[in-house]
Structure 1
């Protein structure tokens, strides 16, 4: 079984749409990954939503 899911998210800094791979093992976790366009750190929060993944992104400055 493939534990990766490709998602498109908008960078909270530059607003560009970027494609990222989300690992199902990250459900319930937060991690930081740099934007592929502006290189600023994006905080990813991954959670399960019924039979799919919910991926929320924010800047490190957001509380």
Structure 2
């Protein structure tokens, strides 16, 4: 099952939409390039097991 969620780039602050594959678990992290400035963001994804609400925090990668 896939859902979408918005995150804000750790570099430029612009919002971007990303796909979240819920079959990968309720805690995920991976790197995705910003759709605006193309810089890499590490996305920390947390999915609430009961409501399936998605929270994404970003961090810069080196």
Alpha-carbon separation, structure 2, partners of 1:56 and 1:13 = 15
In structure 2, the partner of 1:22 is: 20
How many aligned residue pairs are there?
A: 59
Task: Give yes or no for contact 1:4–1:21 (8 Å, CA) kept in 2.
Answer: yes
2:56 and 2:10 map into 1 onto residues whose CA distance is 10
Aligned equivalents of 1:35, 1:58: Cα separation in 2 = 11
Partners of 1:37 and 1:19 in 2: how far apart?
11
Structure 1: state its 5+ residue gaps: none
Q: Equivalent residues in 2 for 1:1-63 (5 A)?
A: 3-24=1-22, 25-49=24-48, 50-60=50-60
Segments of 5+ residues of structure 2 without an aligned counterpart are none
**TM-score w.r.t. structure 2 length?**
0.74
Kindly report the root-mean-square deviation, in angstroms, between the aligned alpha carbons of the 2 structures: 1.7
Moved over 4 A (4+): none
